[in-house]
Amino acid sequence: MMLLGVVLHSSETYNVGSSSLWPLDPNDTHIFQNFISAIIHVFRMPVFFLVAGFFGAMLFYERSPQAMIKNRISRIVLPFAVFLILLHPLIFSALAFTSESFGIALSGIPTILTMLPEVTYHLWFLYYLILLSLFTFLLALVLRRIPFLTRRIQNSFEWLFSRRWLAIVVFTVITFLLMVYRWDYSVPTPLSFEPELGAFLFFLSFYLVGWLLFSSKHMLDSFMKYDWFLTISAFILYAITFVGRSYIDDVPTGILYAVVTWLFIFGITGLFIRYMSKYSARMRYASDASYWVYLIHLPLTILIPGLIVDVPLPAFGKFSLVLISTSVICFATYHYLVRATFIGKFLNGRKYPLRK
* pLDDT score of 354 more than 90: no
Average pLDDT of the residues of the chain: 94
Q: For position 295, what pLDDT does the model report? A: 96
- Amino acid making up residue 315: A
Q: For position 63, what pLDDT does the model report? A: 93
Q: For position 211, what pLDDT does the model report? A: 97
* Cβ proximity of 329 and 300 under 8 Å: yes
Mean pLDDT of 128-138: 97
* pLDDT score of 28 more than 60: yes
Lowest mean pLDDT: which of 97-111, 171-185, 202-216? 97-111
Q: For position 38, what pLDDT does the model report? A: 95
Mean pLDDT of 254-273: 96
User: Is residue 157 very low, low, confident or very high in pLDDT (cuts 50, 70, 90)?
Assistant: very high
Question: pTM of the prediction?
Answer: 0.94
Mean pLDDT of 94-117: 88
Mean pLDDT of 58-85: 95
Q: For position 356, what pLDDT does the model report? A: 57
* pLDDT score of 146 more than 80: yes
Over residues 223-251, the pLDDT tens digits come to 999 999 999 999 999 999 999 888 888 88
Q: For position 154, what pLDDT does the model report? A: 93
User: Is residue 111 very low, low, confident or very high in pLDDT (cuts 50, 70, 90)?
Assistant: confident
* pLDDT score of 30 more than 60: yes
Mean pLDDT of 7-36: 94
Mean pLDDT of 132-141: 96
User: Is residue 109 very low, low, confident or very high in pLDDT (cuts 50, 70, 90)?
Assistant: confident
Over residues 276-289, the pLDDT tens digits come to 989 999 999 999 99
Burial class (CB in 10 A: 0-12, 13-18, 19+), 248: middle
User: Is residue 8 very low, low, confident or very high in pLDDT (cuts 50, 70, 90)?
Assistant: very high
Backbone angles phi, psi at 346, to 5 degrees: -60, -40
Over residues 318-343, the pLDDT tens digits come to 999 999 999 999 999 999 999 999 99
* pLDDT score of 164 more than 60: yes
